[in-house]
């Protein structure tokens, strides 16, 4: 007798086979009588399961698209920062070290270095860049991050390969988990790929709308983010346009706004005074005509958010990074 046969003999019969014949017959007849209703119940339960699974999948997809939109907003910010005076580029080792040394504090030095690395990692999508800020719980030094940034500056701008500067910031669309498969891909798999690919234009449009809404509410400022880390020399801004944060009376209350004007000449370099031709402010009483004045540009108030702060006028030449044809 084979082991398989012995194993079958050892098995105990199921509950149905232990019932008397009369009871077994009654059970079968009852099942036959209720089969239509039971089929309806089973179908309804399966449909409810499918609807629950579809709702869960939709929720996950919306969550993934929301995350992708938020990431694209970050990528847009850093991409525009890379193409602005905020980005440190085209410097030699000595020039970079001198530039970092001029920053006022260690925390500011680390902040500028990290932001410049993020401009490449997040803004350009260079995922191969190391953006770790510590090792074994110990933060990296200014010197270490300076060396890392110098290596990036040296390599970037290649016409091909991983150091090529892309024409747009990257979009991380939700995607299906890829697994190793043998043979020809079925249409079902291809449809799943299309389903999870995500709509890049939709993400772009939603990200741009959110970005505009947030800036309207005063949440973040691209003009502030795209300024150089160090205040420019006064002679270098003659003929250029600047913005000054001034307090104006609006309905009996003082509100801060950026007032733009063109620097005509340096009045007193030692006192950091320049002559500025200011634009008219049509909506502010007493300021409708603009005019010229001597303005002191305090170094410590460069690109701050307090009255008397100043910065270069920022014009977003990259726009929305999305042409009408792409929409």
Q: What's the angle, vertex CA 282, arms to CA 278 and CA 286, rounded to 5? A: 75
3-state helix, strand, coil split of the chain in percent (to 5) is 50, 15, 40
pLDDT of residue 182: 63
- The per-residue pLDDT string of the chain (327 residues; one tens digit each, 9 = 90 and over) reads 577 666 666 666 667 667 777 777 777 777 777 778 777 777 877 777 777 766 666 665 566 667 778 888 889 889 999 999 999 999 999 999 999 999 999 999 999 999 999 999 999 999 999 999 999 999 999 999 999 999 999 998 777 788 999 998 888 766 656 666 666 666 666 665 665 555 677 777 777 777 777 766 666 688 899 999 999 999 999 999 999 999 887 777 888 889 999 999 999 999 999 999 999 987 777 777 788 999 999 999 999 999 999 999 998 877 665 544 344
DSSP string of 11-55?
SPPPGGGGS-HHHHHHHHHHHHHHHHHHHHHHHHHHHHHHHHHHH
Residue 139: HSE in the Cβ half-sphere, 13 Å Cα cutoff: 8
pLDDT of residue 323: 46
Is pTM beyond 0.85 here? no
Q: Which residue has the tokens 């019969």?
A: 13
Handedness of CA 282, 285, 290, 293 (dihedral sign): negative
pLDDT of residue 33: 76
pLDDT of residue 35: 79
104 within 8 A of 229, measured Cβ to Cβ: no
pLDDT of residue 293: 92
pLDDT of residue 40: 78
pLDDT of residue 326: 46
């Amino acid at each position: 007798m084979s082991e398989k046969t012995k194993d079958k003999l050892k098995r105990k019969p199921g509950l149905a086979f232990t019932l008397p014949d009369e009871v077994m017959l009654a059970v079968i007849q009852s099942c036959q009588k209720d089969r239509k209703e039971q089929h309806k119940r089973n179908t309804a339960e399966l449909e409810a399961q499918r609807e629950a699974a579809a709702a869960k999948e939709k929720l996950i997809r919306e969550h993934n698209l929301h995350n992708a939109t938020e990431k694209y907003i970050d990528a847009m910010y850093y991409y525009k920062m890379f193409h602005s005076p905020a980005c440190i580029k085209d410097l030699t080792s000595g020039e970079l070290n001198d530039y970092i040394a001029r920053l006022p504090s260690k925390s500011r030095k680390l902040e500028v270095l990290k932001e410049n690395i993020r401009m490449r990692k997040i803004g350009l999508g260079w995922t191969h860049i190391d953006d770790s800020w510590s090792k074994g719980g110990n933060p990296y030094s200014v010197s270490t991050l300076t060396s890392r940034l110098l290596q990036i500056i040296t390599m970037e701008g290649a016409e091909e390969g991983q150091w090529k500067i892309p024409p747009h910031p990257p979009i991380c669309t939700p995607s299906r988990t890829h697994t190793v498969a043998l043979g020809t891909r079925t249409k079902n798999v291809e449809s799943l790929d299309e389903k999870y690919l995500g709509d890049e234009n939709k993400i772009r449009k939603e990200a741009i709308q959110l970005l505009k809404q947030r800036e309207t509410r005063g949440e973040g400022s691209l003009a502030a983010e795209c300024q150089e880390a160090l205040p420019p020399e006064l002679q270098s801004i003659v003929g250029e346009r600047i913005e000054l944060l001034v307090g104006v009376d609006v309905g009996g209350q003082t509100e801060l706004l950026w007032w733009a004007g063109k620097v005509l000449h340096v009045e007193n370099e030692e006192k950091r005074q320049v002559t500025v031709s200011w634009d008219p402010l049509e909506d502010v009483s007493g300021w409708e005509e603009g005019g010229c004045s001597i303005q002191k540009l305090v170094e410590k108030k460069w690109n701050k958010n307090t009255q008397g702060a100043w910065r270069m006028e920022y014009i977003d030449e990259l726009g929305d990074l999305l042409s009408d044809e792409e929409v």
